Amino acid sequence: MATVTFDKATRVYPGADKPAVDKLDLKIEDGEFLVLVGPSGCGKSTSLRMLAGLEEVNAGRIFIGDTDVTDMQPKNRDIAMVFQNYALYPHMSVRDNMGFALKIAGVPKEEINERVEEAAKRLDLVEYLDRKPKALSGGQRQRVAMGRAIVRKPQVFLMDEPLSNLDAKLRVQTRTQIAALQRSLGVTTVYVTHDQTEALTMGDRIAVLKDGILQQVGTPEDMYDRPANEFVAGFIGSPAMNLAKFDVKDGVAHLGGAHIPLSQATLDAMTAADEGKLTIGFRPESLEVVSADTSGAIPIVVDFVEELGSDSFVYGKLAGENTDLIVRVAPRTAPHPGSTLYVRIKEGQSHLFSAATGTRLPQ
């Protein structure tokens, strides 16, 4: 096991006018489960492939432990990858698929069997060892792919969207299994996904990328409670954070019928580039339903209601504006579409961002 370090690692594809990954600085601790997350095309899979040796590093360096692996062949990096499409040999049994890399490496047959049996027990695959992949479900095939990585006992696991081909219920079950397995093995793991729910529930830390640039690194709690900028705020969380641009006048942010007082620290942090505007974010659960005459009440015209059993989400627009807002309310208490719901941001649960740069402002 080892640390992983990206030292200003950059990848520029031939013919591209900007890097796919731009000066990535990131250190992953020994035994840590780090999730790389971001929208399609943000550079997360490219970063993983650079670490694996499948993509050239055009500038900067990559280390596994104290070893500079920037120009090292993939086979010499002591890593194991788990892909989205399983990549199993259809003509081989589960046992042979899991032990194939060890067989190629010349590991004695007895040791291969021992490692395969041990991994199969961890993954509840013992009864399937003599089956072919076509006789397995999608979740079982993914566990075989995991087992193939485990038996190699690498320094680092690399996982590239391994749950994308599974149905919703199986994804929830399998992500729990992967997270528990990684913690029991203690192997440094870099996990790529576009699904921020996976990132929040699985990772020790999350690294958010956008357009090849690292936006923020931190624990799931950091990402959710203190997003570093407007992009992270809008990306992390489901449903997404409400974000709206307010006009600032006389120390108060105004948008339609919403009026939000600002602290002196926020006002002092604003610059001329903001042009008297401010972006305010607040999560659906950070709003409380109040009466129309409550100070600071925000009027929302209800468009439709999403009943989820344990929660209800009200989707609507700020009265007099074309600003979409989402409010979480107690189940079966939501008003009817077309009515007006009055809400207020709970104290200390707003997020303020520069209108010019999108960076977080002090409150």
Residue 296 has pLDDT above 90, yes or no: no
CATH architecture label of 4-234:
3-Layer(aba) Sandwich (3.40)
DSSP state of 241: P
Peptide bond just before 335 cis, omega within 30 deg:
no
Domain with CATH 2.40.50.140 in the chain: 239-354
Percent of the residues in the chain that have a pLDDT greater than 70, as a whole number: 100
SS3 category, 119:
helix
**Residue 171 pLDDT grade (very low, low, confident, very high; cuts 50, 70, 90):** confident
- Which of the two residues, 261 and 165, has the higher pLDDT score? 261
Question: pLDDT value at position 87?
Answer: 83
Contact 354, 348 (CB under 8 A): no
- Which of the two residues, 196 and 48, has the higher pLDDT score? 48
Residue 222 has pLDDT above 80, yes or no: yes
Q: Tens of pLDDT along 297-319?
A: 899 999 999 998 888 999 999 88
Q: Tens of pLDDT along 225-255?
A: 999 999 999 999 989 999 999 999 999 999 8
Is the full-model pTM beyond 0.85? yes
Question: pLDDT value at position 206?
Answer: 97
Q: Tens of pLDDT along 107-127?
A: 999 999 999 999 999 888 999
* Class of domain 239-354 (CATH, top level): mainly beta
The CB density around residue 343, as the number of other CB atoms within 10 Å, is: 24
Q: Which two tokens stand for residue 260?
A: 């939000």
Domain with CATH 3.40.50.300 in the chain: 4-234
Contact 308, 330 (CB under 8 A): no
**Distance (Å, rounded) from C-alpha 43 to C-alpha 21?**
5
Nearest to 302 by CA among 288, 286, 315, 287: 315
The tokens 């499409």 sit on which residue?
85
